[in-house]
Amino acid sequence: MERPPIDLRSDTVTLPSPAMRKAMYEAELGDDGYGEDKTVARLQEMVAERVGKDAAILTPSGCMANLIALLTLCERGCEVLLGRDTDMYLWEAGAMSAVGGIYPNPLPNEPDGTISLELLKANIRQPDVHFPRTRAICLENTNNLSGGLPLTPTYMASVHATASSRGVALYLDGARLFNAAVGLKVDVREITTHVDALMFCFSKGLSCPVGSIVCGSQAFIDEALRQRKMLGGQMRQAGIIAAAAIVAMQEMIDRLEEDHENARLLAEGLRDLPGIELKHTSPSTNIVFFRARAKDVNETSRELEAAGVRTLPMGEWLRAVTHYGIDSREIVRAVKIFRSVWSVP
């Protein structure tokens, strides 16, 4: 029987664990539009406590979560500062401007995913009738295009101090927030204490079939509920989703280190192949960027997929993301496939 391909395109391809499937089947349900789904309420309380915020709301997706947060933080015609190499700027269909009338001011990211503090300070607008009002700074942790590098609590604290001194909110797209915390070996609150609001995804490394969550103060979440309703994100018996997320919070966070170890194993296997370049020789979390110097990335991706490994072309690089469902044996097999594609004995 032919083996299925090793799918390293993204951690969004994860399938729910047996414990998640059981919890979803047995979930206590109600109409969350009326605030009657006890499983959703339990998840939201659990998450808010875990990240040190007053409250949280479940959303169908990370893209919607980010948009809800920005609509809550900003009026039409206001501005947000964010990295040029971030998901919110590149891959959310221009939602902040198309839906919210919010002006994105993209600033260059450093190789480690940070944005220079001096650059942030210089771009926070002074009050002037000619300018949009700067309402928020948006950071991404981990930063995808930097190779999954986590932003440190020290850096987060510095940006928060800069933002607060100018009356600007700091918002965190923490799609892979727990990868950051595990990678840095810190409690997640050491990161989240420095932001006014945040989101993270259940459907990436935490392996849920769907869902993200927005967290912040009670006043922020009260308004975010209105924005979620306006965007069509209010759900009914959403406890089916929340039940899997509860299992993720209980069982899937600590195991992220296994994904990080597998990413390092993959990078180690690629490092010595002739003609292969790595963005980072030792990944901090679960993302590996690489390329074959003499080949187009799309051509390389097609060759690898034909041989049994799926990767994702992103600009000049190929991305491989380790995740639940891919163990170290499959990483070893993937490296063997890489060697065979590039004819390395």
Task: Give residue-wise pLDDT tens across range 271-296.
Answer: 989 889 999 889 999 999 999 888 89
Listed residue (57, 40, 33, 47) closest to 243, CA to CA = 40
Q: Do domains 6-13+255-341 and 18-251 have the same CATH topology?
A: no
pLDDT of residue 344: 62
Residue 345 pLDDT grade (very low, low, confident, very high; cuts 50, 70, 90)? low
pLDDT surpasses 70 at 85: yes
Q: Which CATH architecture has domain 6-13+255-341?
A: Alpha-Beta Complex (3.90)
Return the CATH number of the domain spanning residue range 18-251: 3.40.640.10
Percent of the chain with pLDDT over 90: 94
pLDDT surpasses 80 at 73: yes
Listed residue (324, 329, 323, 300) closest to 312, CA to CA = 300
pLDDT of residue 272: 84
Listed range (136-150, 216-230, 232-246, 284-298) with the worst mean pLDDT: 284-298
Per-residue pLDDT of 17-43, as tens digits, reads 999 999 999 999 999 999 999 999 999
Strand order in the sheet with 103-107: 55-59, 212-216, 197-201, 169-173, 134-140, 79-83, 103-107
Tokens of 301: 């991706």
Residue 242 pLDDT grade (very low, low, confident, very high; cuts 50, 70, 90)? very high
Q: Which residues pair with 314 in a beta bridge?
A: 317
The Cα–Cα gap between 242 and 286 comes to 24
| pLDDT top residue among 216 and 342 | 216
pLDDT of residue 19: 98
Per-residue pLDDT of 97-151, as tens digits, reads 999 999 999 999 999 999 999 999 999 999 999 999 999 999 999 999 999 999 9
Q: Where are the domains of the chain?
A: 6-13+255-341, 18-251
Tokens of 214: 């927005």
Q: Mean pLDDT in the chain?
A: 96
Half-sphere exposure of 20 (CA within 13 A, CB side): 23
Listed range (103-107, 263-267, 276-280, 340-344) with the worst mean pLDDT: 340-344
